[in-house]
Structure 1
Amino acid sequence: MSKVSSCGYEWTIQLVSQNSEHMLDKCLASILSAALAEASLFAFYFSKSLSIQQTPCAIFTSSEQWLDEQLDVPALVGRLNKLNHDVQLLSLAQMQILPVRYQGLILGFLAVDNSAIIPTSEHNVLNHVLNIYVHQLATLQYARIDPLTQLLNRQTFDEKVMDIVAGKEAWLVREHGNDVKWYIAMADIDHFKYVNDNHGHVIGDEVILLVAQLLKSNFRIGDYVFRYGGEEFAIVFPCKDEGKAIEKLDSVRAIIAATRFPQVGSVTISLGVAELTDNAQVADFVNRADQALYQSKQDGRNRVTAFSNMDSAKDSYQTGDIELF
């Protein structure tokens, strides 16, 4: 552990140099492996949404053996929340816990097996490293937020889909389990051109904002909701099967249709959904979901269509004379 004190500045530079969440996680894992004894077990649990509404999940561990310990994460977080803010270490019978805070909230912790006792003199450096990680993660996330809707933006969408398909986000698998599939849905506000033409762009922005809020509030913390562009949104989320995915999307569609929008009245959305697999590019997934979205528009709007349920013409659709907006 003597290396911790001498490398604190170097580790800080490494962390703030990362420009993707995936590489930031890898960097922190490498730093902790170097800082802690090679023989020790450790695990980093964190809420990637930066929200206390999401239970911290294992972002990485030094060994899968750690997961067999079946750590009671909610109970441990509850215990950490009772500590004074100046407490940097919680010593338990078999492990030491370093709380990870952001804006005064406990969002996770580093658990270290007691085979590597962390000297008091090293607490500050390790906590500093964890603090730098959290703030760099927040910086990356805020740079990827759409300013109007506060949803994730288009650039983040491409990166997230690629990471999921490539299996780079191992913590997502641990959080959601191996028995789920990932789906991409494209959603578009129906007759949005009419809203802009008849009520003005200010009201149009208010409609986009309210739809965004309804989408975000009706999906889980661990799901990803993006403003794809204009009045179009993308949702990337795990489900047990396609039937459940369609059911979830349809319930959100119904909530939006039942909501009264100021000055506009009723607003509906159309959606298309496709499964994320490991044998296609991001553009292919978007194209499939877009084809299903177009089919929803063609069939009368205010509905959900799955790409898998479309006929043999699904590979070469044309917009024709249908007004999508």
Structure 2
Amino acid sequence: MSKVSSCGYEWTIELVSQNSEHTLDKCLAIILSTVLGKTCSFAFFFSKSLSIQQVPCLIFTSKQMPCCEHIDVPSLLERLNKLNHDVQVLSLAQMQVLPIRYQGLVLGFLVVTQNTLISNSEHNVLSHILNIYVHQLATLQYARIDPLTQLLNRQTFDEKVLEIVAGKEAWLVREHCNDICWYLAMADIDHFKLVNDTYGHVIGDEVILLVAQLLKSNFRIGDYVFRYGGEEFAMVFPCKNEGEALDKLDNVREVIASTRFPQVNNVTISLGVTEINEGVQVSDYVDRADRALYHSKSVGRNRVTAFSSLNYVDKVQQTGDIELF
């Protein structure tokens, strides 16, 4: 391993200068390659949600790293969780595993394979780098949170959709990755203007907050739920096909419709959904999902519509005089 102590400060600055998850990952991969040298191979597993509810996914590997399918992630996590917090490495037969902790929880690990053991000083350098990475990732995520709903905010939306189209979020697909499609759904609270006019903006904010909580709790760790603006929400998530996506959204719609809201009692949402694929701009995806949402509003609200099900007139018509809110 290279002598790296003099570079620790420079690497720290590089990591905290990254302003997106994708560039942060690339920066960490380059630093680890420099620290570990060409004789080592490594694989980095982490839960990007910063939650123990999500099993750490493979984020990247070195070029020399053999296939990672033999790595039993749940078993490694169990062993790492049994380590004392002052233990920096788990030494196994053909590899060394460094736990990655955040707020006392093991959220991932770095697997290193090499012929000689990593020294304590080298462990310290790696632990420091990984700690900086995790805290910078947390900083980026917290900056993207809507303060009222604690969902991802509007500013994050375009970036996430672009990353998915570019294949940079492949780690989120936990299984059957070749059979997975991504979908964008737009949802809007029905008659929300009437809620504000009747009960006031404080109750209106409570309705938005409760809808946001129901949306978040009914999507999986790794799905994206955004507050798109006002009483409108966006969800980006993988499914095997459009039918599965529609079923998922309809289940969420039913949960919200059956929930009793303080003061207001009953609240419903209307949704539109479209598949995300290559060759289309983010604004076009939003437009498609919005047109499907408009159709749900225009035919009675409290329903889900797929853009693919619309006829040509529905796809090109404007909102006209229909009151959407």
TM superposition score category, shorter chain reference: over 0.9
Does residue 23 of structure 1 match 2:23? yes
Residue equivalent to 1:215: 215
Q: CA deviation at 1:173?
A: 5.0
Q: CA deviation at 1:200?
A: 0.3
On the 8 A contact 2:295/2:314 being kept in 1, the answer is no
- Tell me the distance in 1 between the aligned counterparts of 2:137 and 2:39: 28
CA deviations on 1:76-130 (whole Å, 9 max, x unpaired) are 1111111111111110111101100000000000000133531122111110000
CA deviations on 1:175-211 (whole Å, 9 max, x unpaired) are 6612100000000000000100000000000000000
Q: CA deviation at 1:8?
A: 1.1
**In terms of mean alpha carbon deviation, does 118-127 or 281-290 score higher?**
118-127
On the 8 A contact 1:271/1:304 being kept in 2, the answer is yes
- Tell me the distance in 1 between the aligned counterparts of 2:93 and 2:266: 58
Matches within 5 A, 1:195-206: 195-206=195-206
CA deviations on 1:31-83 (whole Å, 9 max, x unpaired) are 01111121322100000000000000001011485444421101111111111
| SS of alignment partner, residue 265 of structure 1 | coil
TM-score, scaled to structure 2: 0.97
Unpaired segments ≥5 residues, structure 2 = none
- Tell me the distance in 2 between the aligned counterparts of 1:225 and 1:52: 19
User: How many residues are treated as equivalent by the alignment?
Assistant: 325
**In terms of mean alpha carbon deviation, does 125-134 or 67-76 score higher?**
67-76
Residue equivalent to 2:109: 109
Residue equivalent to 1:324: 324
| SS of alignment partner, residue 24 of structure 1 | helix
Residue equivalent to 2:300: 300
TM-score, scaled to structure 1: 0.97
Q: Amino acid of the residue matched to residue 188 of structure 2? A: D
Q: CA deviation at 1:7?
A: 1.3
On the 8 A contact 1:294/1:324 being kept in 2, the answer is yes
Q: Amino acid of the residue matched to residue 58 of structure 1? A: L
1:246–1:69 Cα change, 3 Å: closer
Q: CA deviation at 1:4?
A: 2.5
Matches within 5 A, 1:48-87: 48-63=48-63, 66-87=66-87
| SS of alignment partner, residue 178 of structure 2 | coil
CA deviations on 1:285-308 (whole Å, 9 max, x unpaired) are 000000000000011000000000
- Tell me the distance in 1 between the aligned counterparts of 2:53 and 2:178: 23
What is the percent sequence identity of the aligned residues?
75
Q: CA deviation at 1:174?
A: 6.3
Does residue 7 of structure 1 match 2:27? no
Does residue 127 of structure 1 match 2:119? no
- Tell me the distance in 2 between the aligned counterparts of 1:218 and 1:90: 36
Matches within 5 A, 1:1-325: 1-63=1-63, 66-115=66-115, 117-172=117-172, 177-325=177-325
On the 8 A contact 2:39/2:114 being kept in 1, the answer is no
1:64–1:294 Cα change, 3 Å: farther
- Tell me the distance in 1 between the aligned counterparts of 2:179 and 2:272: 23
On the 8 A contact 1:57/1:175 being kept in 2, the answer is no
Unpaired segments ≥5 residues, structure 1 = none
- Tell me the distance in 2 between the aligned counterparts of 1:69 and 1:282: 34
1:174–1:266 Cα change, 3 Å: closer
